[in-house]
Amino acid sequence: MGDHRRFDIFSNHIVENLPTSNIRIVDVAGGKGHLRQALFEKGFSDVTTWDKRNKRVQGNQRFEYFNWETAPEYDILVAMHPDEGTDHSILYAAKWGIDAFICPCCAKGSAVTYWGYNCRHKSYKILKKGLNRYKK
């Protein structure tokens, strides 16, 4: 198990880099909502956590996969250890042109299905191709 202080440390970094607390934040693959709670304690009132697993938590939580192509619009994206949500988070932020605070654990791509030897490199190529669509 990880150190529970990581949620406060990550939320402190987010607070230090955001201009206002009156924004809509999406927490991708947020599990039990610890990061959402840490942000709430720092004055952010509109934080929605998406996670595929029902953890029976209180607050604004959606129990489904976060899909970068179909998720509603938010102002800021945060993702701490999002596993298969890493590439969705990056592509979503690029699509909407919003700031994103992403602390990945690994790069498990799931936005586009790919198979075969050396899949991680294929995932990076697919992600790069998707991001190039939103280059300004």
Whole-number Å distance between alpha carbons of 5 and 122: 34
Q: What is the pLDDT of residue 33?
A: 87
Show the domains of the chain with their CATH numbers.
24-132 (3.40.50)
- Phi, psi values for residue 15, rounded to 5°: -60, -40
Distance, CA of 119 to CA of 116 (rounded, Å) = 6
Residue 106 has what pLDDT?
Answer: 60
pTM (two decimals): 0.77
pLDDT for residue 74: 94
Q: How far apart are CA 26 and CA 78, in angstroms?
A: 6
* Mean pLDDT per 10-residue section of the chain, whose length is 136 residues: 80 84 88 90 90 70 82 92 85 90 70 51 61 62
Looking at residue 56, its pLDDT comes to: 60
Spatial separation of the C-alpha atoms in residues 48 and 78, rounded to whole Å: 10
- What is the C-alpha to C-alpha distance for residues 62 and 29, in angstroms, rounded to an integer? 10
The pLDDT of residue 25 is 94
Dihedral sign, Cα of residue 2, residue 101, residue 19, residue 74: negative
Spatial separation of the C-alpha atoms in residues 108 and 79, rounded to whole Å: 14
Question: Could you give the strand order of the β-sheet that contains 25-28, starting from the edge strand earlier in sequence?
Answer: 61-62, 47-50, 25-28, 76-80, 99-103
**Model pLDDT, residue 115:** 46
